[in-house]
Structures are given as C-alpha cells and as structure tokens.
Structure 1
Amino acid sequence: MLFSKETYVERRRKLRELVGSGLIVLFGNNDSPNNYPSNVYKFRQDSAFLYFFGQHRNGLVGVIDADSGNEVLIGDDIDIDDIVWYGSVTSVAQMAEECGVGASAPMTRLAQMVEHAVTDGRKVHYLPPYRHDTMIQIMDLLGIHPSQQREGASLSLIKAVVKLRSIKSEEEIAELERASVIGYKMHTTAMRLARPGVTEQYIGGVLDGIASSYGAQVSFPSIVSMHGEILHGYPSPRALEAGRLLLVDAGAETNENYCSDHTRTTPISGKFTTKQKEIYDIVADCHDLALSHARPGVRWWDVHMAVCALMTDRLKELGLMKGDTEEAVRAGAHALFLPHGLGHMMGMDVHDMEGLGQVYVGFDDETRPSSQFGTNALRFGRRLEAGHVVTDEPGIYFIPDLIDDWQKKGINAQYLNFDKINAYRDFGGIRIEDDVLITPDGCRFLGKERIPYHTADVERYVEEHREESPVIY
C-alpha cells in the first residue's frame, strides 16, 4: 500500500458520511485473459477500489455499511497450486488489517450480504462497471442486466467518490510528481530519437519500456505519429521523414497507478520550418495563456474559451480565419482546428474518474456540457479548486476530411478562408500538453523538470541531445 492505514480509514469514513445510508459495494478488478485463461494482461487494479482500500491483488471486493460503519474485505485466499507458481502472498485477512478494515470474508459471503440488504429494503450502492466480468457479477448479485447497470449505478456514491478524489492530498501530489518525472524521461527520449529513418513503432516501444521500467505501465496507449492531425494516432511501422513533425502524447503510471500525461511536437529535421513555427507558436502561446488564467475560482470553461479566442485571433493574422473573433468562437468555427477540449482532470486515471460519468466529474449545476462540435469534447469545465490536477493541452490540426466536409457543407464559411486552409492539408497537427496543479494562488507544473516546448528550447534540446546510435530500426 502507498499510504498509511489511517489514510484509507479516513477516506472510507468520509465516503460513508457522504453516501449516508445503505450498503456500498466497491469491486476490485480480476485478471483479464489475453488469449487463454492463464496468459493474462498485466493486472491493473480498479482506481476507486485502490483509493479506498489500497490493495493491488486481484479478486477483491470492499463492502462498507454506511449505516453501521461495518467494513469487510472480501476475497478468496490462494491455494497451494497458486503458491507453487506465483509464490506465497498476503492473506485477505492480513490485507484487511493493513488497510484498517475490521473483517474479511470469502467471496461466497458477498451474495449473502447483498441479499440481506435487499431483503431489508436497503439501497445497494455500486459504481458504473466497465469490465464484463464485473457486469456479470452485478447481474448475479442484483439481477440487473449489464445494459442497464450504468443507469442503475448509485448517483450518491458517484458524487461522493468524485468529491473525495477531485482534491489531491499532499501525498497524492508527491506520487503525481513521480509520474511526471517518468513522463519527462519518456518525452525527452522521444525528442532525442526523432530523426529521419527511425520508425514511429520503435519510438513508441522505447517509451512503453521506460514507463514499465520506472513504474507500473503507460497511463494510456502511447500516441506517436507524424500524422498529428489524427488525435489518437498510434505508432505504425512507418519511418520518420525529414521536414515533418512528430507528435508524441504519452504518459506513465507509477506503481501505485498515479498518472502523467504530456504531449510534445518535435521537428524531425531538428528545425521548424517557417510555416510550422507560425502554427506552433500559436499553440505555445495558447498553452501559456491557460497557465496565466488557471487559479481557484476560475471556470476551466472560461479558460478554454479564452484560448479559443486567442487562437482565432492568431489564425486570422495568418489569413486562415476571418470575421469577428467573438462571433466566430460562439459559432464554433475554431473547432475546425481544435476539435477537442483544453484539458481534463488527472489522478489515478489519466482521464480522472471518466468512467463514473464525465458530467459528474467535469461539470456541475453552474457549468453544463455543450453539444456543439469541438466544445462537446471538453471533459472539464467547472470552477477550479486548489488541489485539482488538470491538463493544459491546446492544439491546432489540419484534418483533410474535416476540411472537405465543412467546405462542402459551407459550415462557418463566413469565418474560414478555405482557399488558404487547403494549402495546409499536408501539415499534420501540433499539440502541447502539461499536467498542472491548481494551487491556492494560481497553478504550477508537476514534475521536477519541464519538458522543453517553446520553439527555441525544442530546437536547442534536439541539437544538443539528438541520438545518432547505429540501431537498426
């Protein structure tokens, strides 16, 4: 366990108070087979279970009685056959003691506990499931079909978990700093390797290896692509080409599954062309504008819109956009170039708690999500609080199919110069992303060292550190 027993006890106490009554059931994850039962993917514990119970073993369920305060850690101890292959492990009773839970029980007890609660007319609280084995377990326990389980999940439990996990403690911030240190190693390595002839796949594999060697794993599949206009462009066997840009969006999870998430865009030839620098500098300035705005009490929605306005002004200077900036942003014309939001919350999940429902994580009664293209991809819009961790990730992309679609349909034609835009069809895309902690008086980067991102700093770093190793790619 990462934190003290008292930390987990206090977290569960607060959870009980927020939920108020009923039986809270928090499912840990099970092993997930790759291609046959005993050949499994690397195990990753459920974040909510880990937050409240701190145990990484598979096959566990935590039960909390919000009325009586009784807590039980449920799971089966491994048998001698498993010990032969995997070695002796801590018993469920010992794990319960480690995280301050008063009792343990075998998995067969779970159905009895749930049945008693249902019979007594008590609410059984569970979070929206995302793994099919958990869905089957919930169906067996409560008779709710998997297609209806997200709808049937406990709203009071969701809101309680979001409230508790949104504000990071000093202990959590320290772990997030460790994740950012790994992220620094990953991204500076990618910048050193970015040269003609090296494949996207090779760089992606090196990044995954760094994450695994310093922590648990990557926090999401690494995005490594010369086609930066593809928002999730995963690495291909394609060799890097001189004159193009390499976009790398990658992060790491620590052994305790706290995440980092950075993006850098590097000129493969070592220097930005004039055209690339013009677009890159807009993105860098938007990134820095967000940092200057981010502080407690400010809506991230408003920061996003300020970034969209600056981007529109600068694209107008290049002749790519036209008309009144405020009207263009209100109409969503900028989304041709920025079809996603400024950032998201981050913590034990790289998109923190997104599985609980983004409307509960990133929005509230004051700030509601938008249905407008581009803005509808903003995952976080509510007011910032000290202790929030968010990503700052503006980008500019030239997506040929989207350009064709808007031009054909005349979408926002009064704000877009398509003749000029079409000259950028082979440009690709640029994104710059950092992890930001909201402090009482502003914000700061996470991590000990900042990954270079201003044009002069990027070019200087590549010139001074580029690897010329004789590796066969």
Structure 2
Amino acid sequence: MKNYSNLLARRRQLAASLHLPVLLFAGDRLSRNFRANKYPFRASSHFLYFAGAPLAGAVLFLDGDRQIIFFDLPTSDDALWHGEFMGVEALQSKFAVDEILPKSALSKYVQGAATIPLTDPFQRLEQSQALKRPLTAPNQLSGGDRQLAEAIINLRLQHDDGAIAEIKKAINVSIEAHQRGMKTAQKMQTETSVRAAIEGHFLEEQMPCAYHSIVSTAGEVLHNESSPNDLKAGDLLLVDAGAETSCGWASDLTRTYPISGKFSPTQRDIYKIVLEAHDQAITALKPTAEFRDIHRLATKIITEGLLDLGILQGKLDDLITENITATFFPHGLGHLLGLDVHDMEDLGDLAGYAPNRQRSEQFGECFLRLNRPLRENMVVTIEPGFYQVPAILGDRRTQKPFKSMINWEKLEQFQDVRGIRIEDDIQITANGAINLSQALITSVDDLENFMNP
C-alpha cells in the first residue's frame, strides 16, 4: 500500500507557508505530427511534487485542508483504444484527495488562486483561459504566483525521505545502465549501439530517460544529443545519461572512458586532473558552504593541474584572476537535482540563486546554475570537465592576455582529449555530503580493470 505521509506533509507545509488557494496544472499530452500521434506525457514537476503521480490533463486544488483533483474521466471510446481506466474512488485513493470533480467545475475555484504557469506556451494559454487571467512565463512571476513559487522552492530545495528514496532508485538504475555501456563499448561499432544498451536498461526497469542522453566521442560538444559516429580505438567516449522514476524523480550521471579500454598517457593525465577536482569538490560540500566557492575550488584545482602539465603558463594567481581555465572548463560545476534534472529551472534563477544574487558576467562563471548556500538534504550534481572547444580555443589564440597563458605547442600533444566530464549526484548531510552514485567507478585503474576483466 502506498505511503502518503510525505505527500500529505508537503501539502500541510505549503498551506502553512502560503495563505492562498492553489491550482497546480499537470499539463497534457502534446501531439507530434498529427493529433493522435502523441509525445510521451511528462507532468509538471510542481504538480508531481504535491500529487505524487502523473495524470494527464488533471488539475490539483489545495486550500488549507481541502484537496481536490479536477479531471475528466476517459470516455468509452477512449477505453476502446487505451483500455479501461480507474474509477472515481480509485483515483481519489491514489491521489489522497477529498474529491474528484470534472474540469467543468474548475471555474468555481479559480478566484484568487495562485498557480505555476506551464512551460509550453500553448498549454499555458489554455491554463490562462481556465484561470480567467493572463499568465506570464514561469520565470517572470509576480503577485500570488511569485509567492507560490517561493513557497514551493523553499520546500523542494531540501528533500524529504520519500524524495531521497526515489532519487536513489533512479540513480541505482542509472549506475547499472552505465556499467552496461562500459561493458559493451569495446564490442560496439557506433555510439548509437552503446546508447541503445544504456537506454535499453532504463526501459527494462520501466524508467524513461530523465533527459536526452549524451553518448559521444565528440566530448567537446557539451550537450551533444546526437550519436552518429563510429567508435574508434584511441577515442574517449563521454556518456551523460540518467533514468527517471515513474513519479518523475531524476538522476544525472556522467562517465568518460576509452573505447579501447586503456587510457593513453595524455588522456590519463587530463582525466586525473578532472577527477581530483571532482573528488575535492565533493569533500568540500556541507551545509552553509557556498556552491560558488566550491565551483571556484574545482576551477583552481584544474588550473593547478594544467599548469603542472605545462598546458598553462604563468603565475597561478594571474591565471585564476583572468579565469583562463574557463577556456577548458566553460560551464558551472553542477546544479540542483530532484523532480527536474536541473531542478526547478523552469522558474529561471529563482531556485538556483539566493535572493538578490545575479549571474556573473564573467565567461564560464556566467553559466553557473547554482549560487546559494547549501542546505541539509539538498541533492546537487558535481561535474567538472575539460574540453577542447574549437570556437573557444580560436578566440583565445588571438586575445590578450589569454594567448600567452596557454602553451599552444604543449596543448597539441593532447589532441586525443576532446572532452572529459565526471559527474555524480550528491546529498548534503548534517555534517558533510554523501555521494549517492559512488558505486559507479571513477578512477583510471578501476575503469580499465572493469573494461578488461
């Protein structure tokens, strides 16, 4: 029997912090190329957090102790094509609400109600019509909608036991999938074949992908969702893939390993620098620590490593001041993880950034997705990397002072390192942090031994 304690506690906490009625829209299935051909349904994460399960087309009403789901039951024609659907009593039990009402009754409950606008503009228009008022995009909120967003953020930043259990479930399936990818990489001919092995395991465990998987030998393309390339000895394969539970809780893991099962000396050198940044960043995580400071720690470690290798040249302090390492590590160290793989980013920086903080204008740090003090039971990713992005390197060759800070001849020796990223999912604890995905190996020796039993 389903345990509703966490779900009901979330609703009580929301009611205690927000004295407004709330309407949370699940969203509905979208058509692809014709009406009957639908994309897989993914409910709004804000709906999922308080409803506990997806239900296409549903609206959840919360007002003090009153809890209603508005939903139009499928017709007999729907049953012909999609099978029988549960009745009103079963729905009421599944969602732990007082009533199930048809959506035609919704108009009586919209007065003064706050909502979170849906991200899809067409569905947001329908939502606006149902509420009888205009809606902004979800990252431009004001009034009661802004108050609701801030109350939800305060709850979702720190995960309860039920959320942590779901995230761990997604992580464990993702670990198994990544291991399958590592085992098959040497036998496969294409990136797509490795991706199929990984995503096939998700499917076997009845979990969708939490996001488009990245399985690529072109690791310098940070979010490379295409996997068309042949696998060649000497290449590194960057695999960024995570499963999502049936209730929407995400995982997000990345590993980089050699197709041949053996790192070259240059690949090994760079990999160890990225791993050192990864490990030290995780060690530094704890409540009240500023995530921006952890990002800067990882950047410093990568800078030191590249200086020791001779890729960078000059004084360490000058290199850090000029942020030269953003040439090779141009993104933020990590982000929040929860019901969204980038949790609550539909709200812009409202969740990721503490109040009154703005994004940096400095290249690299401007892409930092998380800039707030850490709290117990947050879950964050730690994902340092090294990439040789042609467009960035081209600019650096001509710009002062960057062109003199890079030893271009030395860098040429590392052409077999196009991109490396190592990413784990970390729970902040009372005194530090736990790597929830630690079972997925990261060291050079462990990876080589695993791929060459």
**TM band (smaller chain):** over 0.9
Q: Deviations over 1:363-394 (max 9, x none)?
A: 21375432211111111121111101111111
**Structure 1 365/146 Cα, relative in aligned 2: closer, same or farther at 3 Å?**
closer
Give the distance between the partners of 1:426 and 1:49, measured in 2 at CA.
46
Aligned to 2:14: 15
Structure 2, gaps ≥5 residues long? none
Is the 1:216–1:257 contact (alpha carbons within 8 Å) kept by the matching residues of 2?
no
Closer/same/farther in 2, CA of residues 288 and 152 from structure 1, 3 Å limit: closer
| Pairing of 1:7-406 with structure 2 (within 5 A) | 7-21=6-20, 23-65=21-63, 69-92=65-88, 94-114=90-110, 117=111, 122=112, 124-142=113-131, 150-152=139-141, 154-195=145-186, 198-357=189-348, 359-365=349-355, 368-406=358-396
How far apart are 1:18 and its partner, in Å? 1.8
1:456 corresponds in structure 2 to: 445
CA–CA separation in structure 2 for the residues paired with 1:95 and 1:426? 56
1:122-148 Cα shifts (integer Å, max 9, x gaps)? 3x3221421234212133135666766
CA distance in 2 between partners of 1:147 and 1:412 (Å)? 42
Give the distance between the partners of 2:317 and 2:129, measured in 1 at CA. Answer: 54
Q: Shift in Å at residue 44 of structure 1?
A: 1.8
Deviation of 1:102 (Å): 2.0
Would the alpha carbon gap of residues 80 and 167 (structure 1) be closer, same or farther in structure 2, given more than 3 Å must change?
A: same
Structure 1 distance, partners of 2:405, 2:89, is: 65
| CA shift for structure 1 position 322 | 2.5
**Superposition deviation, residue 444 in structure 1:** 1.3
Percent of aligned positions with the same letter in both sequences? Answer: 33
- 1:247/1:264 contact within 8 Å kept: yes
Quote how far apart the aligned CAs of 1:26 are.
Answer: 0.6
Q: Give the secondary-structure state (helix, strand or coil) at the position aligned to 1:371.
A: coil
CA separation in 1, counterparts of 2:156 and 2:209? 21
What is aligned with 2:403?
413
Q: Secondary structure at the match of 2:32?
A: strand
SS at match of 1:227: coil
Q: Partners in 1 of 2:228 and 2:425 — Cα distance?
A: 29
- Show CA shifts across 1:61-97 (max 9, x none): 012235xx43321110111111222222223554234
Which SS does the other structure have where 1:256 is aligned? coil
Structure 2 letter corresponding to 1:129 = L
Q: Matches of 2:194 and 2:304 in 1, distance apart?
A: 35
Any conservation in 2 of the 1:135–1:149 contact (CA below 8 Å)? no
Q: What is the SS of the residue equivalent to 1:39?
A: coil
The gaps in structure 1 that reach 5 residues or longer are 465-473
Offset of residue 458 of structure 1: 0.7
Q: CA deviation at 1:199?
A: 0.4
Compute the displacement of 1:172 (Å). Answer: 1.8
Taking the TM superposition and a 5 Å limit, the aligned residue runs for 1:427-466 are 427-447=417-437, 450-464=439-453
Q: Over residues 395-449 of structure 1, what are the superposed CA-to-partner deviations in whole Å (9 max), with x where a residue is unaligned?
A: 01111121002222336335333343355455311000111111112111214x6
Moved more, 404-413 or 25-34: 404-413
Contact 1:19 1:157 in 2 (8 A): yes
Matches of 1:109 and 1:49, distance apart in 2: 19
SS of 2:302's equivalent in the other structure is: helix
Instruction: Look up the SS of the partner of 1:155 in the other structure.
Output: helix
Contact 1:138 1:144 in 2 (8 A): no
The TM-score, its normalising length taken from structure 1, stands at 0.90
TM-score (normalised: structure 2): 0.93
Residue 173 and residue 46 in structure 1: after superposition, are their counterparts in 2 closer, same or farther (change >3 A)? same
In 2, Cα distance between equivalents of 1:260 and 1:148: 26
Contact 1:9 1:99 survives alignment (8 Å): no
Q: In the aligned structure 1, how far is the partner of 2:224 from the partner of 2:342?
A: 18
Q: Distance in 2 between matches of 1:258 and 1:152?
A: 25
CA distance in 1, matches of 2:285, 2:255: 21
Deviations 1:172-222 (A, max 9, x none): 212211111111111111111222752001111221111121132011111
Counterpart contact for 1:283–1:431, Cα < 8 Å: yes
Letter of the aligned partner of 1:7 in structure 2?
Answer: N
